[in-house]
Amino acid sequence: MSEARRGAEFGRPRVLLGVDSNCMSLLIMAFICFFSASEAITVGEAEQPLKLDPFAYLDHTFVDEMECHGEAERELGLLLRMYEKPGQEGSRAAIFGNLAYYCGKKQKYLEAESFFNQALEICDKHPFARRQADEAMLILGLSECCIRKGDFATAERLAKQALSRRERDMGPKAYETILCQISLANVYIQQRRGNEAVALLQPVIDIAARDRMDAGRAVTLIKVYGRALAEVGRMVESRQAESRARKLELESIKNRVEELERQRTKVEEKSKETIRYMREHPDPSLRAEVETLILAEAERPMIHSRRLLKVMRRYVTLLRNDDQEVEASRQEARIGELTRFLSR
C-alpha cells in the first residue's frame, strides 16, 4: 500500500490516502461487529481514495482519532470539499463510505444508509470509481443498514450481490469474500433460516482453520457461526464456538494492546526528541509557528494514549469474563496511569 505523503510533519491527526484492498472491507467488519452484537489531514496522491487503518474493528482508525477531539464530521466534510474535481470521484465515494462508518459508530443508521447510497450513486455514474471505492463493500455496508431497519429481503439481495462480485474478483478463500458470507449468514439468522446460515459458514470455518486465519479476523466469523448453530438447536457446538471466539478475541486484543504500547512509547520518545530539537534550534522569525508546532507535537502521545485506553478497557472486560482477575487488576492499574497522564 502506498502511504500518504506528510504535508505537515507535526500536529493534526493524519488521514491515509493509498491503495489497499482492505479499505472498505475493514470498515464493513466494524459494521458487522456492531450489528451482530444488538493523523492532520494530509493530501497525498489526489487521485487515490481515502483508506482505513487495518484495525478498524478494534477502534483504531483515523475516524476514532479525530472523534477524540470532536473533529470527525468537520474533517470529513473538509475532505469532501478537497475532492470535488473531475477524476476524483473514487475518492469522494470512499469518503462517503467513511462518513457512513462514522454514523454507524454513532448509531445514526439512517444517515449511514444515506452516505452509502451517495457513494454508490457516484460508482454508478463513474465506473472507474468502483475499484477505488471498493463498490462491493459499499453494497455490503448498505446491506448491513437494511438489516438494522428490518428490511431483510433487500439486505439479502445486496449481500448476495456483494458476495457474487467478491467471488468473481477475489476467489472463495479471500477474506473479503468470507466477510460477505458472514454478512449474508447474519441475514439468514435474522430470518430464522439457521440451516442456510450453517450451510453457508461451515465451509468458511474449514477454510479459516486450514489457512490459519488470524485471530482478529476469525472472531466475528466464529461468533456468527455459533449463533447459527444455536438457531438450529445445536447448543453444545454453539457453546464450543462461543468459547473458541472468546479465547481468540482475548488473544487478539492482548496482541493489540502490546502493539499499541510499543507504538505509544516510540511516539513519546520521538515527540520529546522533536520538541527538544525545536527548542534548541529556534528560528526567531517563526517563533509563533514553532510554539504551535511544539504544542501539536506534545499532543501526539496523548492521542496514542487515548487510543490505547479504549482498547485496554475492552481487554479488562474480556479478562474478567475469562476469570483472569489478577491480570485484569494489573491492566486496570495501567489504565489508571494512562488516565492520570491524560488529565495532566
pLDDT digits (tens, 9 = 90+) for 99-119: 887 777 777 888 888 888 988
Q: Which domain range does residue 283 map to?
A: 253-342
Same domain for 216 and 288: no
pLDDT of residue 160: 95
Domain boundary among 233, 261, 285: 233
**pLDDT the model gives residue 257:** 92
Same domain assignment for residues 101 and 186:
yes
Q: Name the DSSP class of 311.
A: H
The answer to whether residue 296 is domain-embedded is: yes
pLDDT band at 182 (very low <50, low <70, confident <90, very high): very high
Query: Which residue matches cell numbers 454513532?
Result: 106
Does one domain contain both 118 and 164? yes
Residue 246 in any domain: the answer is no
Same domain, 156 and 40: yes
29-79 per-position pLDDT tens digit: 545 554 444 332 222 333 333 333 322 322 334 455 545 445 566 666 777
| 216 belongs to a structural domain | yes
Where does a domain end: 198, 233, 268? 233
Judgement on whether residues 182 and 261 belong to the same structural domain of the protein? no
Asked whether residue 224 falls in the same domain as residue 293, the answer is no
Residue 224 and residue 321 in one domain: no
Number of folded domains in the chain?
2
152 closest CA partner among 198, 196, 184 = 184
d(CA 318, CA 113): 31
Instruction: Report d(CA 206, CA 192) in Å as an integer.
Output: 23
CATH, residue 25: 1.25.40.10
* Alpha helices per DSSP H over 171-234: 175-190, 194-210, 215-231
Residue 238 falls inside a structural domain:
no
Please check whether residues 257 and 218 belong to one and the same domain: no
Chain-centroid distance, C-alpha 127: 25
Asked if 133 and 123 touch (Cβ cutoff 8 Å), the reply is: yes
Does residue 158 sit in the same domain as residue 283?
A: no
Residue 79 CA to residue 66 CA, distance in Å, equals 13
Asked whether 235 and 72 are in contact (CB, 8 A), the reply is no
Give domain status of residue 205, yes or no. Answer: yes
Show the 3-state SS of 12-32: CCECEECCCCCHHHHHHHHHH
Domain final position from 182, 201, 233: 233
Q: Please indicate, yes or no, whether residues 186 and 280 belong to a single structural domain of this protein.
A: no
In a domain, residue 2? The reply is no
Grid cell 431497519 in the structure block, residue: 149
The pLDDT score that the predictor gives to residue 237 is 95
The answer to whether residues 265 and 225 belong to one domain is: no
> Is the domain of 214 the same as that of 261?
no
Q: Give the residue-averaged pLDDT of 158-169.
A: 91
96 in a structural domain:
yes
The pLDDT tens digits for 189-216 are 999 999 999 999 999 888 777 777 777 7
Only one residue has cell 430470518, namely 191
Q: What is the pLDDT of residues 66-96, one digit of tens each?
A: 454 455 666 667 777 777 777 778 788 888 8
Decide if 243 is inside a domain: no
